[in-house]
Structures are given as structure tokens and as C-alpha cells.
Structure 1
């Protein structure tokens, strides 16, 4: 009995060991890593398929586009080839590209023509879904550019584009050599128009047969880009907007051309460029990285004055906007390219080369022009001395749209007529009002 009992116990022990061995060798047993074994190589991620994105960037040359964006885009997205489409010439308007069925993926346009060159062509694509998808922060931009553009283009909150430099502020340029010649102190930031008028009056003179003008201007800058953000055509009515305010603006500027020996030039183009001759002391113009002042040996700039009672803001020529066409097959890639074009890295480089940033960045404004041979050492604080004024408001919904260039040209012509003394300010503004009404009626008749 003892022997049998021991035999059964031994057999049971062998069976238990066998069972444990089976469990250890089965799926539930932990595996012991072999320190000498090598990990299986991970499967390499498949590189993105090469694609081609076409951009129609009106107002920007291919050379400028390449200088500002090409290298950074190639580095960030080597699989994307961005093709710059020619924009000059009758065959290269966006309308012609669309008519040929050659619709680009990205379009650069300005706010005043976004309807005729984008929305009215059936190209509109709302960026909000991509903004949400990529968690893109719109608050980084100066809000006047986002809100103003939506006001101009949106029906139900759509966002069709993101703002890209260049845009242009307003400043006063002055010829330091002439101030030295006539013993006058230099201009300074924060001056009033009355103070500038007195300086212009003192600087205007004839010496040794040479007429020295105290003041000249790029006339469109103080009409179209005014501190009131005032449109020529009233947003709500078919008439000149705010007659009294336009009278105030006209009166302020026409007095400079009534100073003896300081007449406005024969054409607006000549008036715009007369400062280059070196015989004009003060010139009102836009601040622009493109402006060529190379013929003026010793110049600087100060803040543009603000009229008494007006908002202390600088009227600006608004930025361009980067838009994606709804026909594009590569909307995600197009948005990624736009995000890179508007990145802090790119905009800081732009700012150092003299381009105003569309993002709200004090660091970029402080770095403005530091790498520009033209602007380094100049009074760059003048460019943003006051806040930038908002974009001019759009026509109210349901009101007949009129090309802003048509309306603004009528206003400029009226100013020249008053500045030349051919008619008084009240008369030319009443005439402009009537002409605007006629132009609106012409537009209405096209839809009847």
C-alpha cells in the first residue's frame, strides 16, 4: 500500500510538471527577450506624392515671390512644386485663366477687387473648415485685416482669404539737405498739419532762379487712404459719403497748393514723383519697400500728421489676400503653403527687409527695415506712430456695387480741379456727388 501510494504521488508530480511546462510553452507564458537579438526594422513611411500647386499672385513679380517664399517652401514641403503663373498682359488676367479652364490653386488679390477677380468668377472657397482642421490661430493677425476683409466679402461669416504683405502705411518724407540749406529744424513725429503747413510755407521760395517747393504729395494717399476710413461712395446710399468730412479733407490739403510758388504739378504722376528732383522739402506718400528715393541724397521720414478732430490713426493701403479656389484638388496642401508663407519666420524676414507684417507683432515692427539698405538708419518708428485705420467699409448688402477705382478717380479729379484753383471745394464735391450717382445708375442698368 505504501509503495502504491508513493507511486501514485510520483505520477501526479510528473503530470503537474508536464502541465506547467505546457503552460510555459503556450501562449500565456511570458517571453524572455534575447539580449543578443535585433529588433525588426520599422517599415519606412511612404513619402508624400509629388504635386504641383499653381499660384496667380497679382501685384507680385516672380522674382519677388521667389526671393520671399521659394526657398522656405521648398525646404518645408519638398514634394510640392509651387508654380508662379504670369500675371501681366491681356492673356494672363485671372479671367482669361478661368476662361481657358486653367484655374490656379491659390490666388493673391486685393480687397477692392476680390469680388471681380475671385468671387464673381465662381472661385470662392471658405477657409473656415481648414482653419478648424489645422487649429490655425487667426488672432495672430492684426484684427482690422481679418474683420475688414470679412465685412467686404462675407455673407454668413465666410473667410475667403488670409492677409499677406505688402501693405502700405503713410508717412511724411523730407529732404534734410534743403532743411540744412535754409536753416530750418528737421520735422519730428507727432506734428499737426497746421505745423507742417507753416514749415512748407517757409521752405517754399525761389533762389538763384530755382523754385524750391515746400510740399508735394502722392495725392491718392490722403484721399483713398484717409484716417477716417472714409469711402468715396457712401456704403448705405447712392451718393458721395459724408460731404462735410470730404470738405474738411479737401480744405486741409488744397491750402498747400495755394502757397505762392508751390502749385500742384500738371499731372498726378508728375506730382507724385517731383520729390525725386531734390527741390521739394516735404513729400506726403505711402511708406513702401518699393519706393525709390535714390535720387534724394539725404532724406528721412516722420509720422503722417492727423487732422484736427480726426481719429489718431494712419490710413493704409490694405494688404493682399491669399485665396484658395474651390476647384483646387489640393486644398489641404494649398492651405499648408499659405500657412508657411504667413509664418512668423517668413514675416520677420520680410519685416527686416522693409515689408510691414500682417500679424500683430511689436517685435517685427521694431525690426522693420533693419536689413534694408534703403531704410536702415531711418526713422522707422514713423511708419507705425499711430494705429492703422480700418479698411474702408463695403457697400451695404443689396446696394449696387461700383468699382472703387471709378469712384476714387472721380474724387481725385475733383481734388486736382480745386487744387489748381479752377473751382472751389464745395463745387467740385457737388459735381463728384452727381457723377457718382450717374455711375451707380449705369451699373444698375446693366442688370435690368
Structure 2
């Protein structure tokens, strides 16, 4: 402030001196006066860092991410005090429809979170900014993220999204229920057979306690089982469904058997009460969940909570998924949005994501920090299982065939349609959708 006042004072004095030397009323005097005032204004702006204000709209689907995102925004505003960053949280069930509609209408958020199933649709519609030129211009090192997640957000070899977090999977268990039943905690040696045997011992039908939850959902439910059974969801070239393969049918049948025997809540019960809620309320001994569930489950179960790697079938592993940040192609603030995106996906944002225990950071240097973020829970299982993970199944119209798949699997699990018949029908319908992909 003192420096600014000094500059203004000197400029003013200079104006007075020039006026005294040149007399009054001349055109030269007026021109010199205007130049002096302009110099004064410029000096003030340069020394106060004054810039034009702008608004950045940012969209996410997860409420528990909001605090971490706001912390990153505060860091961003240190270099962009003129920025007004507004965060909107929309529940995931409405997020994609509302976001797509707003973008197609020429509006929408400047910067928003993206997932694998919806990426190809948004990118092929021309709604996302091509980030490859910015990555190359700024020398951003994308090798700090797992290759599979990088590839998930590329179109024609160009990156349209930068990874934010991964969804590693593990088998959560309730230590208290295991201790009461006298059953040893699960570990990396467990197979499907071990799981079924031990889950039966942990089931108490009178107390409405389940040994395991065969989750009727894709990412944590039937997807890992399909992979472990040697089945597939979609072919490597993304042209053919794998829902009618022998391994896929065996995986769905395994789930149905557990439900029919009362070891797992039925598909109908899961429609009425979410699987995560059943486990979190202490009514199930085991739940196959994601790294993204650790934060909430630890709050619900505290020291009772444990986690290990998923039991193996014909093979180990699961389909790995992760979110990214993308930029609206219509945004009027491309550079500003890019700089905020870099903070969210770079060291600052990833360190905060890890420390806050919100989710598994995509930036590999911060994985160990995340694994230590909940001291009462040994989360190494999410890390050691990643080498067995494979790419998440997606295509251009993923969301369309996922609806078909989910409906057919629910019919199979409820017994409305035999498993093989349901999966054969689902594969046929999925193939019709895939044939329309460009």
C-alpha cells in the first residue's frame, strides 16, 4: 500500500511540475495530464494485482468430496483471487442426465467429474475439451497415473480427462461378528469355496444376520465375480457382448445360490435396503466393496471394520475403474479451468484426497499416504490387489447396455427368468446396441 501511494504521489508531483513549466490552457498540457492519470491508474493496478473477476462452475456427484475440492479451490484462489468458484453437487442418479442436457444446450459447468461408462458418449458428442495440446504445452507427466486409467479417458489417442481417483476393491468384514462365531478373519488365501463355507457359519437367519452380501450392482457386485470366473462383459475390441459366456453365467449363478440359501440378502431385499446400509448397520459379516467405501464404513463400524483382498475364483482380480476431471468444450474460461484441473489432479489435490481418506488417489506417489489415512483400518489390501486388476468394460454407449445388463441380472437373481436364459437375452440386446457404435 505504501509503495502504491508513493507511486501515485510521484506521478501527481510530476504532473504539477510539468503544468508549472508549460503554463495553462495548452493542448500539450492536457495531453500530459491525461498521460499522467493513465500512468497513475496503471501503477495502481500493477501493484494491487487487480484483474477482471470471473466465475468457474464446477460439478461433482459425491457430497463427501466437497470439502476436499473446496480446500483445493482455496489453494487455487491464492493465485487467482479474482476467481469465484462455485461447486454444485448433484446425486449420481441425476448427474449424467442433467450434465449432458446442460452441455448440449451450450451451458453447463466449466469443469466437472467424469466416469468411464459415460466418457465415450460425452467425448463423441463433442462436449469435452481436448486436453492433449495443454498437456504437451505444459509438460504434464501423465505417467504418474496407472496406464489403464489414462487410456480410459482417451479418444483417438488424445486425452480428454486427467485421472482423479481409482476404485480399488476388497472384502470388508465385521470383526465382531467373526469373533462371536469363532470364525478366523478372511485373508488372501480365500477362494469362492472358502467364502461360501465360512459365510454359512456366519449366517443367523433368526437374527436376520447374513454371512455375505452378493451385491446386485456392477462395480462391486457381479463385475469382479464375472472376471474371477473367467467370464467377460465385453470383448477386447468392444464389438461383442460376453454376458452369455460360460464364466459370466457361472458368476451370476454363484450369486443366486448364495441368495437362495439365505447366506446373502436377496435381490428384492437389496432393492428395498441398499447393500452398503445392510453391512454398515451390522447385519452382515462380509461385503465386497470399494476403496471409496472405506471412509463411510469406518464411521459406521469403527474398530469393528476389517478389509482384505477379494476371494479368488478361476483367477484373482477385478475390473478397475476411476474418475477423472474434464473441461466443458463451451467454457469461456478454458485456461482458468485447466489450471484448476491441474491442481485437483496434481500433487496438491491428490495429497488432500489421500489425507482426507476420501478415496484412492490416482497419482501413485500418494497411494501409501492414503493407505495410512485411517489408522484403525489396514487398507493395504486395496494396494496389493491392483496388479491383478484389468480394464473396466466400456464402449461408446456403455450406459445403454448397462441398463439392459442390470435388468437381466436382476431378473435372474429374483428367479423371474433362469440365469442362462436371462444372460443369453442380455447378450443379444447388448450386441444390438454395440452394432450402433461408430
**Which TM bucket (shorter chain)?**
0.7 to 0.9
Q: Please, what TM-score do these two structures have when normalized by structure 1? A: 0.73
Cα distance change of structure 1 residues 92 and 262 upon mapping to structure 2, 3 Å threshold: closer
More helix by share: 2
RMSD over aligned Cα, in angstroms? 3.5
Task: Report the secondary structure of 2:326's partner residue.
Answer: strand
Quick one: which of 279, 290, 307 aligns to 2:313? Answer: 307
Q: Which digits, 9 at most, give the CA deviation of each residue in 1:285-307, with x for residues without a partner? A: 22325534655462211111232
Cα distance change of structure 1 residues 190 and 72 upon mapping to structure 2, 3 Å threshold: farther
Structure number, greater radius of gyration: 1
- The reply on whether 1:426 has 2:420 as its aligned counterpart is yes
| Larger deviation, residues 287-296 vs 197-206 | 287-296
Quick one: which of 111, 118, 123 aligns to 1:113? Answer: 118
The within-5 A match list for 1:128-147 is: 128-147=132-151
Distance 2:404 2:247 in 1: 17
- The reply on whether 1:249 has 2:251 as its aligned counterpart is yes
**Partner residue of 2:430?**
436
Q: Please, what TM-score do these two structures have when normalized by structure 2? A: 0.75
Distance 1:231 1:281 in 2: 28
Query: Is 2:319–2:393's contact at 8 Å kept on the other side of the alignment?
Result: no
Query: Is 1:204–1:213's contact at 8 Å kept on the other side of the alignment?
Result: yes
Distance 2:243 2:410 in 1: 19
Query: Is 1:126–1:159's contact at 8 Å kept on the other side of the alignment?
Result: yes
Report deviation, 1:356.
0.7
Unaligned 5+ runs, structure 1: 1-42, 396-400
Report deviation, 1:358.
0.7
- The reply on whether 1:266 has 2:268 as its aligned counterpart is yes
Cα distance change of structure 1 residues 330 and 418 upon mapping to structure 2, 3 Å threshold: closer
Report deviation, 1:376.
2.6
Distance 2:133 2:283 in 1: 55
Distance 2:291 2:380 in 1: 11
Task: Report the secondary structure of 2:153's partner residue.
Answer: helix
Distance 1:325 1:440 in 2: 26
Distance 1:324 1:90 in 2: 16
**Partner residue of 1:360?**
364
Question: How many residue pairs align between the two structures?
Answer: 381
Query: Is 2:232–2:247's contact at 8 Å kept on the other side of the alignment?
Result: no
Cα distance change of structure 1 residues 237 and 425 upon mapping to structure 2, 3 Å threshold: same
Query: Is 1:231–1:392's contact at 8 Å kept on the other side of the alignment?
Result: no
Cα distance change of structure 1 residues 92 and 420 upon mapping to structure 2, 3 Å threshold: closer
